Amino acid sequence: MAAAGELASGAVAGDGAAASTAVQPPLPFRHTPGYHALVLALGVWVAVMASFVLHLPDPWWAGISAWMIGQAGQDRKAMLDKASMRFAGTIIGCILGFEIGGRLIGFGPLAVALVMSVVFWFATRKRFTSPHSYAWLVACLTFAMSVLGAVGNPADLAAFVVARGMEITVGILGTTLVVLLLAPPARPPGPQNAVKAPPGSVQAMEIEHVAIISAVTAPAIIGLVILLDLPSAMQIFVSSIAVTDRSLGTMQTKALQRLIGCVLGGVPGIVLALLLPGHLFPWSLALFTGMFLFTFLHQGDPKTSYFGTQAGIAFLMGLITGSGPPTSIGPVLERVIGIMLGVAILLLVTIVLKPLLAGRIRAGRHVVVETERA
């Protein structure tokens, strides 16, 4: 009987081991960061190649869109949610930018600055209080680009808005299709995160302060671009919007990380653009390798992952100069300089306004403490 029991026990153990083996993914490598980096690099490459085939004027936007959508990782639902929000934000920003930008033609920079200031204030508040934060961010970015396109070249406003919308859409579709085809099956869901509570009074005040900084930054950029003839005004605006954060301290940290990431990715991108003019295969290999490495950096320590994100963006803007392999690095240098100027102007505005805003936050915290004591 004992022997029979041991035999039965062994059979159960064997069945359990077999079952355990059966539930393992057929390719464990597909769940590793290395595999995700390969898939994301391929998605970016597909998006850029598609934009080349379609002869889109600024294919780096397709690459950046693919790169940002892929940051959701191997979670297909998270990626689809992010893709849908980026698409919705793009369409809304393009439509509003076309309508409002067209009406601003001929009104001069003061009217443009006023409109941009109001939109930046409103969109920043919604970005940090809405569950669709990413959609608000993309809508604000696209709106700013469309309005600047209207002011800079009114005759081509419709073509510009359509092209920018197509570039971003191609990037979304490229990386989404690649991830859906190659990403591993979803793992069983882990513990669900608690629903975020609405911001308290101090947090709400800090969000309002960030919105104020954004509202002041918009006319500051327009004034400095006109006064100093700064290059790449569009990229300056985009960079300043992207760096904003709900916390002033975090925003300053992100700004510094964006500057470092810009150098980390932009320098090799520009160097490779110089070394590989007109050669599609080695250029494609450089693009794929760079995105693979920067994905690894992004997936590393959360404290430094933003370096990888910004380095990947700068690398794409440095390596991609037009609708094909690079032939000149002049536009590249202007775009990379635009990233750095956008961060610098936002930091300058933050430094000037922070002492005034910090006093309000201290007063708000004092009120909260006194209320709790009462």
DSSP notation for 270-328: HHHHHH-TT-HHHHHHHHHHHHHHHHHHHTS-TTTHHHHHHHHHHHHHHH--BSBS-S-
Q: Are 326 and 335 in contact (CB under 8 A)?
A: no
Instruction: With H, G, I as helix, E, B as strand and everything else as coil, classify residue 322.
Output: strand
Query: What letter represents residue 159's amino acid?
Result: A
In 3D space, the residue among 23, 32, 62, 26 whose CA is nearest the CA of residue 44 turns out to be: 62
Q: Are 157 and 149 in contact (CB under 8 A)?
A: yes
- For 247, residues 6+ apart whose C-beta sits below 8 A from its C-beta are 206, 210
Q: Are 345 and 221 in contact (CB under 8 A)?
A: yes
Could you tell me the pTM of the whole model?
0.79
Q: Are 170 and 62 in contact (CB under 8 A)?
A: yes
Residue 303 lies in a domain: yes
Range of the domain at 365: 33-184+201-373
Q: Are 114 and 219 in contact (CB under 8 A)?
A: yes
For 13, other C-beta atoms within 10 Å of its C-beta total 10
- For 240, residues 6+ apart whose C-beta sits below 8 A from its C-beta are 214, 217, 221, 342, 343, 345, 346
For the chain, how many structural domains are there in total?
Answer: 1
Residue 98 lies in a domain: yes
Residue 23 lies in a domain: no
Residue 19 lies in a domain: no
Query: What letter represents residue 343's amino acid?
Result: V
Tell how far CA 73 is from the center of its chain: 14
Q: Are 66 and 44 in contact (CB under 8 A)?
A: yes
Split the chain (374 residues) into runs of 10 and give each run's mean pLDDT. Answer: 43 43 53 83 94 90 90 77 92 91 85 93 92 92 88 80 90 90 64 48 80 93 90 88 83 85 88 79 91 86 81 89 65 82 91 78 49 48
Residue 1 lies in a domain: no
Residue 189 lies in a domain: no
Quote the CA–CA distance of 75 and 278 in Å, as a whole number: 36
Q: Are 318 and 261 in contact (CB under 8 A)?
A: no
Tell how far CA 126 is from the center of its chain: 17
Q: Are 318 and 69 in contact (CB under 8 A)?
A: no
Alpha helices in the chain (DSSP H): 2-23, 33-53, 60-69, 76-104, 109-127, 133-152, 157-182, 201-228, 233-243, 248-275, 280-298, 305-319, 330-373
Q: Are 230 and 224 in contact (CB under 8 A)?
A: yes
Identify the DSSP state of 156: G
Residue 7 lies in a domain: no
Report pLDDT for 214: 92
Residue 160 lies in a domain: yes
